[in-house]
Each structure stands twice: as C-alpha cells, then as structure tokens.
Structure 1
Amino acid sequence: MTLDAVLAFCALCLLLELTPGPNTFLVLRHSLQGARTGVVTALGSAVGAVVWAAAVAVGLAALLERSAQAYQVLKVAGGLYLVHLGVRTLLAHRGPASTPAGSASSLPAAFRAGLVSCVLNPKVGLFFVAVVPQFVPAGAGVGTTLLLGVLEAGVALTYLSVLSQVAARAVEWLRRPRVTRTLERASAAVLTAFGVGTLVSAR
C-alpha cells in the first residue's frame, strides 16, 4: 500500500467516527464514570473492529453480503443488546448507587460493552466487506486486510479516547447529581433508541 492510500483510508475512518453512532454514545455513557472507564470502553470497541477485520480476512463476514438472513439476525442481536444496555442503565439509577468511577470491577464490564457493541454492529461488518477491499492492492495477502483493520481501530480508539477525556472533564466540571443523572438517562435513552431502530429496520 502507498502512503497516500493509507492516509486516505485513515481520513475516511475519521470521517465515519465523527458521525455519532452506538459506540460513540456508549463511550460517552461510560465516560460519566470517569475518563479511564470511557477509554477502556473505546478500547473494547477498537478490538471489536480488529475482530471484524479478521473475519473479513478469512472470508466469514462475506456472509453478510450474500445472506440477507445472516445480516438480519446480526441486526436483531445488535439491536437487542443496545436495548439491554439502555434499559439496564435506566434501572440501575432506581436502585443502589452505581459502581465507583474507574473501579476494577467496572473496567471489564466497560471493555465487554465496547467489544460486544462493535462486534454485533452489522454496519461495521459491511464497512469491512464493502469499503476495506477497495484499499487492498491486487494480490495482497490477508495481512493487508488485518493492517487496515488495525488502522481503523487505531483511528477509532484515538477519537473515542479524546471524546472520553473531554466528556469526563465536562462531567467533573458539572459534578452535580441531577446533571449526571440526566446525562445517564439521556445516553441510555439514545442507546435504547438505536436498538429499537435497529430491530425495526431488521423487519
């Protein structure tokens, strides 16, 4: 790959990241618990992108392009997962206090949330199926696809980590129970809306 092709691919990835999606709101929600938790969520999402790149490299993700049923199943699974995350967040605020910011127990959960959300997002899979091959030179091996996956993951991790830092500092500045509760509920509602929208579009 030429340097121009790499830069063009990274620029495209950045433009796509700037468009808010489920992963963006998921990172924002976890950033309310602290920048560290938000960055760990972003890391999980980045690892999910590498998983997609590996799936494309071995030909598994091509099923999404050929099978409407496989694509629909993935959309339903992803939608249900986002609804689950949103509803769980709303219910958590009706019970005892949530896990302390950045605690050891909250970090694995944040990583899993980012990872599963990305892996169950069919749009990410279609990006690697439809867009990534256009940047792979003729005759290139599996390694090139994986490299592009790592580049996409790096761009996503960088952007989401910066977003997490900004969100966490904003929360620290506005550290009021009512504000935090409102932001948590708003992000949970957005995640639920994304999930419901995904389920509706799968019909």
Structure 2
Amino acid sequence: MTGTALLGFAGLCLLLAIAPGPDTFLVLRYGLAGPRFGVLAAAGSAIGSLFWAAAVALGLADLLRSSPTAFLVVKVVGGLYLLYLGVVGFLRRDEVVDPGGGGPVRSRWGPSFRSGVLSCLLNPKVGLFFLAVVPQFLPAEAIAVGTIMVLGLVDAVVAFGWLAALVAGAARAVGWLRRPRVSRGLAGLSSVALCALGVGTIAAVI
C-alpha cells in the first residue's frame, strides 16, 4: 500500500470524524467533568473502531450487510444505548460541577472509557464504513487481515486525535465551563443531543 493511499484514507477519516455524531456529543459530555474523562471516552471510541476493523477483516461484519435482521437488532440496541446515555446524563447534569467549589466532580475513568467503546461498537455504520470504503484503498494483492487492520489503526488514530482536540479546545475555556449554570446547560444540551440521536436511530429502522 502506498503512502498516498494512506494519506487519502486518513483525509477521508478526518472528514468523517469532523461530522458531529454520537461520539462527538459523548466525548464532550464526559469532558465537562474534566479533560481526562473526555480523552478516555475518545480513546474508548478509537478502540471500538479497531474492533470493527477486525470484524470486517475477519468477515464478521458481512453479516450486517447481508442480514437485515442482524443490522436492525444492532441498530435498535445502539439507539437504545444512546437514549440511555442521554437520559442518564440529563438527570445527572447537576453532578457535572461541584456545588461547593464550582469545579469538576471527581469520577472514575472506567465509565467514560467504557461508554466510548460501547457507543462505537453499537454503531453499525462504523462497520459498514469499513466494508464500503476500505476495499477502495486496497490493491488486489494487499487484501489481507493485516492490511485492513493498518487502515483500521489509521482511522482510530485520526478519530482519537480529532476528539481529543475537541476536549483540549473545551479545556481552554475551562473557567467559563466551570460556571454551574453553563456546565448544567451544556450537559443538558449534549444529553438531549444523545437522546435525539438515539430516538432518530430507532425511528429510522422501525
């Protein structure tokens, strides 16, 4: 595989990463509790995309393309999970800031990382992206598990870089974000966005 092909694939991955989606809102939602939690959610999302790349490389994701039922199940479960995250985030929006000091609350890294992984794994569009796009960048003699995983790694790195940059940008405005009213408002907005994405995902397949 040529360097030009890799750069072209990375550019396409960046364009897709920039488009707001579930991972974007999820990362910003956790980033309100502190930059490290947003970065961990971004890392979880990147790991999830690697799992999809592996599934495509091993031929497992063909099931989603060939079986409408399997695609429907994954789609609905993913939509319900986004809706769950949105509802829980909205109900807990007052916990984003410390009422005593106005700073971020302490939180464990596990939930943010795990949510990032699950959000990506329950988004079949990631698998379909690899199925549809990756072959366009593979020469006939290079169609192998290792080569596909290289492209999967490129996608994961690009997506993580973009999401981490979003978190870093938000961290620069940390003083403004730590205001209780602002934090609660942004937490509520991101939660509503996740709910809307979840409902839209479910409605699209019903």
TM-score w.r.t. length of structure 2: 0.92
Instruction: Specify every segment of 5 or more residues in structure 2 that has no aligned partner in the other structure, as ranges.
Output: none
**Displacement of 1:102:** 7.6
Contact 1:44 1:111 in 2 (8 A): yes
1:177 pairs with one of 158, 175, 180: 180
1:178/1:70 CA distance change after superposition, 3 Å: same
1:183/1:95 CA distance change after superposition, 3 Å: closer
Equivalent positions of 1:11-30 (< 5 A) are 11-30=11-30
**Displacement of 1:139:** 2.7
**Displacement of 1:68:** 1.1
Alignment of 1:165 with 2:184, yes or no, is: no
Residue of structure 1 equivalent to 2:130? 128
2:111 pairs with one of 109, 112, 117: 109
Alignment of 1:62 with 2:62, yes or no, is: yes
Q: 1:163 corresponds to which letter in structure 2? A: L
**Displacement of 1:171:** 3.5
Residue of structure 1 equivalent to 2:139? 137
**Displacement of 1:91:** 1.6
Q: Matched residue of 2:141: which SS?
A: coil
**Displacement of 1:34:** 1.1
Alignment of 1:90 with 2:90, yes or no, is: yes
Moved over 3 A (4+): 93-98, 100-103
Residue of structure 2 equivalent to 1:118? 120
Q: Matched residue of 1:139: which SS?
A: helix
**Displacement of 1:135:** 1.1
Q: Structure 2 CA distance, aligned partners of 1:114 and 1:83? A: 14
CA RMSD of aligned residues (A): 1.7
Q: 1:131 corresponds to which letter in structure 2? A: V
The percent identity for this pair of structures is 54
**Displacement of 1:32:** 0.5
1:93/1:28 CA distance change after superposition, 3 Å: closer
Q: How many aligned residue pairs are there?
A: 201
Residue of structure 2 equivalent to 1:187? 190
C-alpha offsets along residues 70-89 of structure 1, whole Å, 9 cap, x if unaligned?
11111101000000000011
Instruction: Specify every segment of 5 or more residues in structure 1 that has no aligned partner in the other structure, as ranges.
Output: none
Q: 1:173 corresponds to which letter in structure 2? A: W
Alignment of 1:79 with 2:82, yes or no, is: no
Q: 2:201 corresponds to which letter in structure 1? A: T
**Displacement of 1:95:** 7.4
1:151 pairs with one of 118, 135, 154: 154
C-alpha offsets along residues 27-61 of structure 1, whole Å, 9 cap, x if unaligned?
01111011111000000000000000000010000
**Displacement of 1:106:** 2.4
TM-score w.r.t. length of structure 1: 0.94
Contact 1:37 1:101 in 2 (8 A): no
1:166/1:146 CA distance change after superposition, 3 Å: same
Contact 1:37 1:102 in 2 (8 A): no
Q: Matched residue of 1:60: which SS?
A: coil
**Displacement of 1:136:** 1.6
Residue of structure 2 equivalent to 1:6? 6
